[in-house]
Structure 1
Amino acid sequence: MTNEFYFNLILLFLVAIIGLELVAKKLRLPPAVAQLVGGAMIAFLPGLPSFEIDPALVLVVFLPPLLMDGAYFTVWHEFRRHLTGILLLAIGAVLFTTLVVGLSLHALNPGLPWAVCFALGAIVSPPDAIAAKAVLQRVALPRKLMVLLEGESLLNDATGLVLYKFSIAVALTGVFSMQSALGDFVLLSVGGVLLGAAFGYLVYKVLGYLQDTALVILASALPGWICYVVGEHLGVSGVIATVTYGMILGWFQHEIMTATARRRGSAFWEIMIFILESLVFILIGLSLRGVWERIEHAEKSWGAYSIEVLLVLVAVIVSRFIWIFAVDAIAKLFKHHPQKTHLQTNWRESFVKSWAGMRGVVTLAAALAVPAQVPGRDLMLLSAFAVILVTVLVQGTTIGWLIRVLKIKHVAHEQVYLNEPQTWAKLEAVQFEVVKQLAHDEAGEVIHPRLLEQYGYRANLSHTLKDAHALPDDIRKAHFDVVLAAVAAGREELLRLHRSGQIHDELLHMMERDLDIQEIAALHTRG
């Protein structure tokens, strides 16, 4: 196969992304589900050769930017407040699932070495950041649940990959030391945090000297990959390094990036993340053919594998339920502790947390990376794909329905934060004070009367409405509907002048940009 063939294949995937996105919207399915099924269908197209995925390449290309995207938008205050719950999921749930899968599989098949059983448990134990984001961004959950699930998905890959590496090493060498394993885990975690923090500090200093917007975007995006590569090379967690860097950049970007850089960077990231997320699930679907062909030529039949795979599936799903309900039950002991109330949850929320355990690219890449000489490799591949397929197709498609059935209401934020009217009242009062100072000359004469009037009106209106639950839609929307109508009329006239040859393309683009900015601002403020 030539390089041209692979390029054409990538073009096919990009076209498939568009079609599958439309199918998902038509059928009201999570796009990840349509892409996974679509990739599997593409894999079996006549004339298409078997598609082999390099697991190391998949991880280094896809995982860092997708982890960084999630970390970039992490809310620090909520992350720190719920850090205990996040770690109980990201470390505790992964360890418990690995243990349950390993013990169950060995009980069913005592011929499999313990290390192999636990390696398979480590492969299927961590819910995937990409799968979780692809599904959870389309459902409405209480803010606390979203923080817990998103925080878990950022950190649990590190736990699963560390357990996986230890188990594979034991399977190959037969040597295991608990003291060494714990020491390595601490080194990987702390080293990853320090490396990510170092990159975050370096970028924080460098971006201040860059004036070009494209360079700012590039200089802020590249370290996401570099952190991962350097971390893996140094023997620390590249996952944690990337997440740490992303969180630091997300925190300081308000200070070190201009509005233009943020807007353009957001557009760049939105498109890139959309493509990468879509390609990940198509690649997972494509891998089905390789798994199918491998099992067809394996020593055991599909029927012989089915019981073991089913056991792994049940162990993965049930163990998460057991862990989460047990931890939440213990958290209820703190119900009278005023500083621990954020740990509490009800059974409905516990059920949704337990059901939101979609697996994805990390599970597949880890299974594909298992050395050929490790016994039970075919079972690992088949189990990994089955877990991904079932959790994405079943859990991913039903979680929205489950939320509605359990009547879990979406809460945008907890009451410790100001609401929108209160925030606008503070912001516009400050803006009005600045305008009042600058609207007069040295002699006290008003030189910007329209600005003074405009900001005074906005500040008075916001102050009047600061105790309201939400800003009145009729006032806000009526005002900006007029603005949007004016922008639309201006755009129509601008295009008429251009089409009739009365203005140059350069002037068209310049004035169109101004109209676009006005429209974006009006749409955003109107809501």
Structure 2
Amino acid sequence: MSDVARYEYFLFLLLVILALERLARRLALPPAAAFILGGTGLALLPGTPELTLDPDLVMVVFLPPLLMSSAWFTAWHEFRRNLRGILALAVGTTLFTTLAVGIAARLAVPSLPWAVCFTLGAIVSPPDAVAAEAAMERLSLPGRITSLLLGESLLNDATGLVLFRFALAAALTGLFDPMAAVGAFCLVSVGGVAIGAVLGWGGLFLIRRLRDSDLIITATVLLAAASYIGADRLHVSGVLATVTTGLMLGWNQHADFSAGTRVRAQAFWKVMVFLLQSVLFILIGLSLRGVLHRLEGTADLLHRLVIPMAAILATMIVSRFVWLFGADAVRAVLRRWWPRQFATPSLPETIVMGWSGMRGVVTLAAALSLPEALPGRDLALCCAFAAILVTVLLQGITLEPLVRALKLTDDEAARIQSDENTAWVRVAEAQLRAIERASRRPDGTERHPRLLEQYRHRLRVTRDYAQDMATHRPEEIAHYQAVLAAIQAARAEILALHHHGQIHDHVLREMEQDLDMQEIAAGTRL
């Protein structure tokens, strides 16, 4: 296939993505499931070109920007508050699943070496950040559960990849030193965080001096790639480096980025993440053709793979529940002595967390990177693809009905709304004080009496709304609906003026941009 043909095929995939996204919304399906099904369908069509994925290229192209975006928009206070639980999930669950799957693989295929079995366990053990974020977008879960799952998805790829490298090295060399592995794991983790912190501070130093929004957004993309590639070249965790850099940029954006830069950056990253996620899940579906090609003409081999694969997938799913319920039991014991430090999730929360282990790009890339001569490579490839299909399709599709059946809701919504109301009162008070200082002349008269009255009125309305939101909410909705109607009337007027040649294109764009910002601001209040 020529380069032009590859580009045309990529454009065709974008068209498929648009159709699948619309179909997913119409059928109330998770988009990730629709994309994988669509890619799988394309892979099975006669004449579809076979797709060969370079696992290293997939990791470098897709993982850094997706991790950067997830870390950028992470709620930092929630992440820090739940860090102990996040680490227990990201490290403990991944280690336990690797161990359990390795034992299951050995029991199912006794001829496989132990190191290969644990390599397979490391491949399928880490839930995927991309799949987790795609699933969480559709759900309204308790804040702590959302924080734990998203935090886990940021960090467990690092654990899974490090375990994979150690297990694969043991499988290829026949040598494994547990103490050296623990030391190397700590070094890789700490080194990744350190590299990410250094690049984060360096990036912020540069960003504060760029001032141009386009350059700043470009710098954030480069920082995502630099943190991952730089850490990987230094043989430490590129995942943790990228996450650390993203957390630092996300925390400092409020002070170091201008309003225009934040708006443009959020729009840019939202579109970029959508395209990367969509293309990635399509590629996962298309990769089925390569797996089937390897098994072509080997019906006996496929038959021998079915039972071990089913055992491995069942162990992968069950082991997550075992770890979570075991961790809850330990917390319940520790809570007797330290009740404030060890909160125990409810049974429905634990069930949802156990059912939220969707696999994705890291599992696929790790399986594809296995050497051709490694024993059990075909089993690993089939298990990796099946793990992604089963978790994204089965768990992804049933997760939302499960949440509804268990009657889990965002228990922090009322508190967040109260915090927002209080914050708006404080903001209105600060704005009024600033206007009073700017308005008062030395002789005691007011320079901006109308502006002063406007901000006094805003403070009164804000206080009334915070004290009795239920009464004032209908009035607020009616107010902003009227504002939107006025904006639409203004938009129709300037378009008519432009159509009749009465205003220049530059004037149209300037006025339209101002109306767009007004419409966005009013729309967020509805």
Q: Normalized against structure 1, the TM-score is what?
A: 0.97
Stretch of structure 1 that moved more, 420-429 or 166-175: 420-429
Stretch of structure 1 that moved more, 503-512 or 148-157: 503-512
Question: 2:27 — aligned with what?
Answer: 27
How far apart in 2 are the matches of 1:471 and 1:462? 13
Question: 2:114 — aligned with what?
Answer: 114
Aligned length: 526
Stretch of structure 1 that moved more, 237-246 or 102-111: 102-111
Question: 2:219 — aligned with what?
Answer: 219
Equivalent residues in 2 for 1:64-83 (5 A)? 64-83=64-83
Sequence identity (%): 48
Equivalent residues in 2 for 1:5-404 (5 A)? 5-298=5-298, 300-336=300-336, 340=340, 343-404=343-404
RMSD of aligned C-alpha atoms?
1.6
Stretch of structure 1 that moved more, 77-86 or 91-100: 77-86
Q: CA deviation at 1:298?
A: 4.8
Match of 1:407, SS state, is: coil
Please say if residues 33 and 392 of structure 1, whose CA atoms lie closer than 8 Å, have aligned partners that are also in contact: yes
Quickly say closer, same or farther: Cα 1:294–1:362, change in 2 above 3 A: same
Q: CA deviation at 1:46?
A: 2.5
Please say if residues 115 and 170 of structure 1, whose CA atoms lie closer than 8 Å, have aligned partners that are also in contact: yes
Stretch of structure 1 that moved more, 473-482 or 402-411: 473-482
Q: CA deviation at 1:467?
A: 3.9
How far apart in 2 are the matches of 1:331 and 1:471? 43
AA in 2 matched with 1:369:
S
Please say if residues 418 and 466 of structure 2, whose CA atoms lie closer than 8 Å, have aligned partners that are also in contact: no
Please say if residues 72 and 249 of structure 1, whose CA atoms lie closer than 8 Å, have aligned partners that are also in contact: yes
Q: CA deviation at 1:297?
A: 4.5
Q: CA deviation at 1:447?
A: 1.9
Please say if residues 124 and 316 of structure 1, whose CA atoms lie closer than 8 Å, have aligned partners that are also in contact: yes
Match of 2:112, SS state, is: coil
Q: Deviations over 1:296-331 (max 9, x none)?
A: 245842211100100011000000010001101221
Q: CA deviation at 1:426?
A: 1.1
Q: Deviations over 1:139-178 (max 9, x none)?
A: 1100000000000000000000001001111111101111
Please say if residues 101 and 118 of structure 1, whose CA atoms lie closer than 8 Å, have aligned partners that are also in contact: yes
Stretch of structure 1 that moved more, 19-28 or 339-348: 339-348
How far apart in 2 are the matches of 1:298 and 1:441? 90
AA in 2 matched with 1:237:
S
Quickly say closer, same or farther: Cα 1:138–1:450, change in 2 above 3 A: same
How far apart in 1 are the matches of 2:417 and 2:188? 35
Please say if residues 465 and 473 of structure 2, whose CA atoms lie closer than 8 Å, have aligned partners that are also in contact: no
Stretch of structure 1 that moved more, 394-403 or 338-347: 338-347
Please say if residues 332 and 342 of structure 2, whose CA atoms lie closer than 8 Å, have aligned partners that are also in contact: no
Quickly say closer, same or farther: Cα 1:473–1:45, change in 2 above 3 A: same
How far apart in 2 are the matches of 1:338 and 1:480? 49
Q: CA deviation at 1:108?
A: 2.0
Question: 1:454 — aligned with what?
Answer: 454
AA in 1 matched with 2:111:
G
Match of 1:424, SS state, is: helix
AA in 2 matched with 1:481:
Q
Please say if residues 298 and 378 of structure 1, whose CA atoms lie closer than 8 Å, have aligned partners that are also in contact: no
Q: Deviations over 1:337-393 (max 9, x none)?
A: 666356311111000000000000110010000011111000000000011100000
Q: CA deviation at 1:85?
A: 0.7
Quickly say closer, same or farther: Cα 1:377–1:135, change in 2 above 3 A: same
AA in 2 matched with 1:121:
G
How far apart in 2 are the matches of 1:113 and 1:282? 33
How far apart in 1 are the matches of 2:344 and 2:173? 44
How far apart in 2 are the matches of 1:411 and 1:70? 23
Q: CA deviation at 1:41?
A: 1.2
Please say if residues 93 and 323 of structure 2, whose CA atoms lie closer than 8 Å, have aligned partners that are also in contact: yes
Quickly say closer, same or farther: Cα 1:235–1:435, change in 2 above 3 A: same
How far apart in 1 are the matches of 2:472 and 2:334? 39
Stretch of structure 1 that moved more, 208-217 or 246-255: 208-217
Q: CA deviation at 1:43?
A: 1.6
- Structure 2 runs not aligned, ≥5 long: none
AA in 1 matched with 2:460:
N
How far apart in 2 are the matches of 1:420 and 1:470? 15
AA in 2 matched with 1:144:
R
Please say if residues 420 and 471 of structure 1, whose CA atoms lie closer than 8 Å, have aligned partners that are also in contact: no
Please say if residues 331 and 342 of structure 2, whose CA atoms lie closer than 8 Å, have aligned partners that are also in contact: no
Q: CA deviation at 1:117?
A: 0.3
Q: CA deviation at 1:221?
A: 2.3
How far apart in 2 are the matches of 1:417 and 1:199? 36
Please say if residues 334 and 342 of structure 2, whose CA atoms lie closer than 8 Å, have aligned partners that are also in contact: no
How far apart in 2 are the matches of 1:195 and 1:50? 38
Stretch of structure 1 that moved more, 114-123 or 465-474: 465-474
Match of 2:52, SS state, is: coil
Quickly say closer, same or farther: Cα 1:494–1:415, change in 2 above 3 A: closer
Stretch of structure 1 that moved more, 50-59 or 413-422: 413-422
How far apart in 2 are the matches of 1:150 and 1:469? 31
How far apart in 2 are the matches of 1:442 and 1:520? 39
Match of 1:46, SS state, is: coil
Quickly say closer, same or farther: Cα 1:368–1:300, change in 2 above 3 A: farther
Match of 2:295, SS state, is: helix
Match of 1:372, SS state, is: coil
AA in 2 matched with 1:419:
D
Match of 1:430, SS state, is: helix
AA in 2 matched with 1:10:
F
Match of 2:462, SS state, is: helix
Match of 1:411, SS state, is: coil
Quickly say closer, same or farther: Cα 1:509–1:86, change in 2 above 3 A: same
Question: 1:475 — aligned with what?
Answer: 475
How far apart in 2 are the matches of 1:196 and 1:342? 30
Quickly say closer, same or farther: Cα 1:346–1:478, change in 2 above 3 A: same
2:434 corresponds to 1:424: no
AA in 2 matched with 1:168:
L
Question: 1:494 — aligned with what?
Answer: 494
How far apart in 2 are the matches of 1:470 and 1:259? 31
Quickly say closer, same or farther: Cα 1:262–1:167, change in 2 above 3 A: same
